[in-house]
Amino acid sequence: MDLLSQWTLELTPKCNLKCGMCSLWDSGRVDGQGLLVSLHDGTFFSQFSKKRLINIVGGEPFENPDLSVVLTELKEQGLKIRLWSNGITQPDQWMSIKNTVDGIMIYLPTVFPEDYQLSTGFATWGDFEDSLRFLKKHRLPFSFHTPVSQANLSDLPDFYDYAQSYGVPLCLHYSAREALHPEHEKYILRFLRVKGVSVYKKKTAMPPTVCPALPHGAFEDPYQILKNAFFDQFK
């Protein structure tokens, strides 16, 4: 999976989950209309060249009520769209983006049902699997992504098996700042040889308004992250 040669657009810092390592759910931000206006009047693409693919990230992108409109505007310009979501959303919201997204990356914090609510602070494993079954049934193209750390290293075969149970790819990513033992890093990199698995090393920290579970460095280098809030300053 090619994560580079792309723009990344942070649509909102808000999130509907309350994962332990993150306080974005509490950001209280109200997303403005600057981005939509700049897409409508064409100034968005006069400032930022058109890349082949754009990553849409949050927080949780569905927390911005203009998501489907933004995606439609981007799609009309011929971009491919990859949406990064925690997967906890309603069927009508999934359907609202069905014809515009080319790929959905679902955050997989654990594959152990009893740990899911503990990890996300809110949603249940049942909610999560309902969403996945809906995506599968309606043929929305999704993959999983998982941040790898010392804590879940030994569970990677379970993550792989879970992705296989849905027949979808798995993206593993880990931070260069974690200072993993060289043998452990070698172990992660062995998954590069496994069909359907990609592995990324994150070199830099994500801005504090972006979901910390995303593969940071892979987005940032060499292209910058665009923020919805950036466009509001021109209003």
Comparing CA positions, the residue from 180, 181, 158 lying closest to residue 170 is 158
Of the listed pieces 14-22, 66-74, 141-149, 164-172, which binds ligand SF4 according to CB under 6 A?
Answer: 14-22
Of the listed pieces 19-27, 67-75, 96-104, 198-206, which binds ligand SF4 according to CB under 6 A?
Answer: 19-27
| Exposed / middle / buried, residue 235 (Cβ in 10 Å: 0-12, 13-18, 19+) | exposed
Q: Which residue in 18, 51, 98, 184 binds ligand SF4 (CB under 6 A)?
A: 18
In angstroms, give the least distance from the CB of 14 to ligand SF4: 8
Provide the 8-state DSSP code for 29. Answer: -
Is residue 17 a contact residue for ligand SF4 (CB under 6 A)? yes
Q: Which residue in 11, 19, 39, 106 binds ligand SF4 (CB under 6 A)?
A: 19
Q: Is 78 left (phi over 0), alpha (psi -120 to 50) or beta?
A: left
Is residue 11 a contact residue for ligand SF4 (CB under 6 A)? no
- How would you list the strands of the sheet with 53-57, edge to edge? 197-202, 170-175, 142-148, 103-107, 80-85, 53-57, 6-10, 225-227
- Cross-strand pairs, 80: 53
Binding mask 158-197 for ligand SF4 (x = CB under 6 A): ----------------------------------------
Site for ligand SF4 in 72-101 (CB under 6 A): 86
Tracing tokens 């909610």 back to the chain, one arrives at: 127
As a whole number of angstroms, the distance between CA 224 and CA 235 comes to 22
Q: Which residue in 25, 84, 174, 219 binds ligand SF4 (CB under 6 A)?
A: 25
In angstroms, give the least distance from the CB of 24 to ligand SF4: 4
Is residue 24 a contact residue for ligand SF4 (CB under 6 A)? yes
Is residue 108 a contact residue for ligand SF4 (CB under 6 A)? no
Is residue 206 a contact residue for ligand SF4 (CB under 6 A)? no
As a whole number of angstroms, the distance between CA 7 and CA 42 comes to 17
As a whole number of angstroms, the distance between CA 7 and CA 165 comes to 31
Number of residues that bind ligand SF4 (CB under 6 A): 14
Binding interface with ligand SF4 (CB under 6 A):
15, 17-19, 22, 24-25, 59-60, 86, 107, 211-213
